[in-house]
Structure 1
Amino acid sequence: MQRSRQLAALGARLRQAAATGGSSATRAWQLAPQQLLSLNTLANSSAAASRAAADPAAALAATARRQAAAAGRRSFAADAVARPGPAPRGTSKAGSGRSLWSGMFLLVPGGLAAFLGKWQWDRREWKRELLERRQGMMQGEPLDLFAADEEPEEYQRVFVEGVFDHSGSQYVGPRTRQVAGTNKQGFLLMTPLRQAGGARCVMVNRGWVPTEWKEDAAMRAAGQPSGKVRVEGILRHSEDPGGFVPPNEPERGNWFYINTSELAAAGGLPPQAPLVEVVTEAPGTYIGRGPPTATEILGGRRRGPDIQESYPLPKSMDDMMQFSVMPQDHFNYAATWWTLSAATLALGVKAIRQGVRAR
């Protein structure tokens, strides 16, 4: 209240000065703008103080709000100190150690994938050379096996002349073959052949026969030539049975894979007798007309008679040039392994570099 009275007195003096001399008052207002600003600020503060004096509850509320705001600012500052932000990258030794170890760990599968890719590539090159060599031997002129002083290499094209001993035939199987568009079970027919007027002999793989051919005497008789015959084929060795094929049972006549010495002994031949596999130059391995077409089923036209099936069915030259895994397959496997290796090694190198920079 005292400050309000002081302001009122100061205003009265200013009005009196304005009344006594307009020009001097004007100069006074022009020369003292800072005094007027101080006066305005003082008046506002006085007014606020007057309102606070008039309303003590409002003054207490304002004071409480100011104290609460100050306490909030102090709490925020303390929380910021207690929970600092993320550390700059590359400053954690533990993180750099993890990056180094993870990068070194990725190098192991990357190197293994590179090795497997190289192994598949080597297999591809080996199989390509094998196919080229096999094709060259099978396309040449057949050699007289009985006249050869030494046994030729496997897949050499040969011929023999002699008489079949059908009583010593053996059946290796079961083996599946596609006949007339369907898969049928059967066996490989192995028959001894003895040189006419000589002491030499061979075991001949004549080809595939169906299961009923083994039991049907009439069917067998149609496929058992008598007298002197000429057989052309390729020289073969024993099969590799693998780990899942059961052993042969010669005493019971059960043959699951080709073993040349055991088959020769079972057929009454010396164990060292070679094996000749009959091969046809026909490109296909199908016989007969195959399954009926949709037009024939619907009755649009009548189906002609099937070509008479003739057993045994030998393999073709094309069959002998096939592998379960061809060179192109090895190329695809090698490309896959090398792609995995490149991706894994790139991730490993990146992790190692990050770990080194962090140190």
Structure 2
Amino acid sequence: MPIRFRIRWIPLCATLAVAAIGIALGQWQTHRAEEKLAIQQRIEARSKEAPLQALPPDGEADAGEFRHVVLEGEFVPQWTVYLENRPHDGAVGFHVLTPFKIAGSQRAVMVARGWAPRDAADRAKVPRPAVPAGPVRIEGTLRRGAGHVLQLGQADAPRPGAILQNLDIAALSAASGLPLSSLVVELRAAPPGGDDGLVRDWPAPSLGIDRHRAYAVQWYALAAMALVFFLVTGLRRKGNDGQ
């Protein structure tokens, strides 16, 4: 029995729309995977470079991210702040950050000193890890910010000892009067003067390259299935369509 293909315009338009959406989203996911692969390669390359001995200018912050840095200066312990909702190994806690005034410079930088657990009995109680007094030398990794979590409600104004959801460096700089860099230093080890009890197992940047690639395959598959479905349902045996 002869077989012919019958075009139905409404299903055709619907199929083309679904296929176009699938292809567009697949390309977007592929592009995101390529971007994150480039970031991963940049992290690996910069981790092998010699440590910086000074902070890069704010206008060159992107070029400095993920570089190791060695700085000398003094902590400003009264402006320590605590970023909440930072779990570690399933335990709730804070990231403890303290400003660091750089020797021989007018600049300062926020130093992510490490993670500390939250008091289960008193959520308003913050840890008080010892801060080295006087000039010290620190080593760490430069990052663009201190990580971001979903902001619930209006952000609190920065103040000494504040518990914050996210770090607003510009607001903290204005409140403290410290000329803070837009970068943050993640300490690699405790500064000289003894262990402060903080955990410095910093999470790696969430790249998700394989996840983006998997999503891209799913969107491309959706586009392909829409076209196949249209072609299969458009085939009609001559004896079955009343002609």
Structural mapping, 1:315-330, within 5 Å:
315-316=201-202, 319-320=203-204, 322-323=205-206, 326-330=208-212
Residue 100 of structure 2 corresponds to residue 224 of structure 1: no
Task: Quickly say closer, same or farther: Cα 1:210–1:144, change in 2 above 3 A.
Answer: same
Deviation at 1:90, TM superposition (A): 8.4
> Retained in 2: the 8 A contact 1:103–1:352?
no
Task: Quickly say closer, same or farther: Cα 1:147–1:341, change in 2 above 3 A.
Answer: closer
SS of match in other structure, 2:181: coil
Find 2:200's aligned residue among 307, 311, 314: 314
Structure with more of its chain in helix, by fraction: 1
**2:114 aligns to what?**
207
Residue 137 of structure 2 corresponds to residue 137 of structure 1: no
Distance 2:182 2:138 in 1: 14
> Retained in 2: the 8 A contact 1:202–1:276?
yes
Find 1:163's aligned residue among 49, 74, 87: 74
Distance 2:124 2:198 in 1: 11
Deviation at 1:160, TM superposition (A): 1.1
> Retained in 1: the 8 A contact 2:158–2:171?
no
The one-letter amino acid paired with 2:19 is: G
Deviation at 1:119, TM superposition (A): 1.2
SS of match in other structure, 1:224: coil
SS of match in other structure, 2:15: helix
Distance 1:198 1:345 in 2: 64
Distance 1:239 1:280 in 2: 15
SS of match in other structure, 2:94: strand
**1:233 aligns to what?**
140
The one-letter amino acid paired with 2:171 is: E
> Retained in 2: the 8 A contact 1:175–1:187?
yes
Task: Quickly say closer, same or farther: Cα 1:204–1:244, change in 2 above 3 A.
Answer: closer
Deviation at 1:251, TM superposition (A): 5.4
Deviation at 1:123, TM superposition (A): 0.9
The one-letter amino acid paired with 1:329 is: R
Structural mapping, 1:72-151, within 5 Å:
99-145=8-54, 151=60
The one-letter amino acid paired with 1:120 is: Q
Distance 1:347 1:328 in 2: 28
Deviation at 1:349, TM superposition (A): 3.2
Structure with more of its chain in strand, by fraction: 2
Distance 1:110 1:150 in 2: 43
Deviation at 1:166, TM superposition (A): 0.9
> Retained in 2: the 8 A contact 1:246–1:256?
no
SS of match in other structure, 2:78: helix
Deviations 1:220-278 (A, max 9, x none): 25x322222211222223467576543421156342112221233344412x4343322
Gaps of 5+ in 1: 1-87, 282-308
**2:167 aligns to what?**
258
TM-align CA RMSD: 3.6
> Retained in 2: the 8 A contact 1:145–1:151?
no
> Retained in 2: the 8 A contact 1:107–1:348?
no
SS of match in other structure, 2:185: strand
> Retained in 2: the 8 A contact 1:103–1:347?
no
Deviation at 1:147, TM superposition (A): 8.3
The one-letter amino acid paired with 1:159 is: V
Distance 2:58 2:84 in 1: 33
The one-letter amino acid paired with 2:215 is: Y
Task: Quickly say closer, same or farther: Cα 1:214–1:244, change in 2 above 3 A.
Answer: closer
Deviations 1:196-235 (A, max 9, x none): 465332221112122249847xx625x3222222112222
> Retained in 2: the 8 A contact 1:166–1:224?
yes
Find 1:348's aligned residue among 227, 230, 236: 230
Q: Answer with 1 or 2: which has the greater Rg.
A: 1
